Amino acid sequence: MNINGIQSVHGAHSLSGPHLSQRAAGNATARPTTTDQLEISLSAQSALSETDIRSDRVAQIKQQIAEGSYETADKLDAALERLIDQLG
């Protein structure tokens, strides 16, 4: 989303991976294989175990994201309003 002052707001753009230069695109074998990892500290694990996680709500949101129905114009408008309020 591009925000150019309060008067000009462009819509959200779809997510896409990083753009490759022509040199990198021509040599696909040079790309390293990466794996995402997450490590949670013991203190964070302890805090998480004391937190009530709504598994049903998490599953519902994951499903909406997978279907592409999670981000709606209403949600984006509300987020934009909150941002404008914070910027004052």
Question: Which tens digit of pLDDT belongs to each residue from 11-27?
Answer: 666 666 666 555 555 55
DSSP result, 50-85:
TS---HHHHHHHHHHHHHT-SS-HHHHHHHHHHHHH
Please give the pLDDT value at position 82.
95
Confidence category of residue 83, pLDDT binned at 50, 70, 90: very high
Q: Is 76 exposed, middle or buried (0-12, 13-18, 19+ CB in 10 A)?
A: middle
Q: Write down the pTM of the prediction.
A: 0.38
